[in-house]
Structure formats: structure tokens, C-alpha cells
Amino acid sequence: MAKLSKKAQEILKAVEEMSVLELNELVKALEEKFGVTAAVPVASVSAVAPGETPAAEAGVAGAGEKATFDVILVAAGENKIAAIKAVREINQNLGLKEAKELVESAPKPVLEGAKKEDAEEAKKKLEAAGAKVELK
């Protein structure tokens, strides 16, 4: 790795310690602030086998193990308000209106491209709120 300034090293260290949810917030804030996108060009994705992520192709995950997961809200359950609160806790970029619309239009993804631990944590929060959830 190239030699970094002290400030760059501090930023790198802070990023290393962030959860997937926090990184997602940071990426969205950077995209908005600087008018850029962190989307992967479509041409580079086509080189990956169907059902595999680029990280899995690079050997980040174990053989046959998914590297990232999507948390899908299948149904809100009896207590829609608790489900909305859980969705907002998981995805802090959503306002009340957006979270309500997401819950009411289930099945919908709540969290995409998350590490296994973060996806399972989000699933537990939603299930505790009475929602039906899938990990894909």
C-alpha cells in the first residue's frame, strides 16, 4: 500500500471499524455530496458467473458460501408500527414516510449486499417486531 498521510490513515482506520449499515450511509452521503455514484459498471459484472458476487469470485467467501446477503421483508406482520421502527433502525437513510411505504409494499428488500452478520442482525430485529423476513 502506498504511504498515506496521517489524516488519510485516520480515515482508513475509521472506515475499517464501520458496520455495513454505517458504510452504506457514508457511501450515500458521498454520492450526494459530490454528485458521483459507486455503482459497478455493468460490463464488469457480466464476467461473474450467475449467482456469484465479485467478492465470491475473488475468494473472499468460503467455497459455496455467499459473501453478501439481501434482507427481504416478506410481510409486516400484526404490528406495522414496530416493523416500520425496525426498518428505520436498520436503514437509517429512510425517513418515516419511506419506511412506511416499504413496509406496506412488502415483499421488499430492506438491506442489500450486507455481510452475513449484519443481515442476520437485521433479520432478528425485524422478526422481533413481528415481521416475516427472508435472507437471500
> What are the residue ranges spanned by the domains of the chain?
69-135
Q: Residues of the chain with pLDDT > 70: what percent?
A: 79
Contacts of 117 (CB under 8 A, 6+ apart): none
Cell numbers describing residue 32:
450526494
pLDDT (tens digit, 9 = 90+) per residue, 15-53? 889 888 888 888 888 888 888 776 655 444 444 445 544
Are the C-beta atoms of 99 and 83 separated by less than 8 Å? no
For 88-94, the CB contacts below 8 A with 24+ separation are: 89/125, 90/21, 90/122, 90/125, 90/126, 91/21, 91/24, 92/21, 92/25, 93/24, 93/25, 93/28
Q: What are the distances in angstroms from CA 49 to CA 5, 38, 53, 62?
A: 38, 21, 8, 16
| pLDDT over 80 at 1, yes or no | no
Distance CA 57, CA 63 (A): 10
Round the average pLDDT of the chain to a whole number and report it.
78
Residue 69: which H helix or E strand, with range? Answer: strand 69-75
Mean pLDDT value across residues 96-106: 86
Determine the pLDDT at residue 55: 47
> In which residue are the cell numbers 454505517 written?
22
In this structure, whether the domain defined by 69-135 belongs to CATH 3.40.50.880 is answered with: no
Region of residue 51 (phi > 0: left; psi between -120 and 50: alpha; otherwise: beta): left
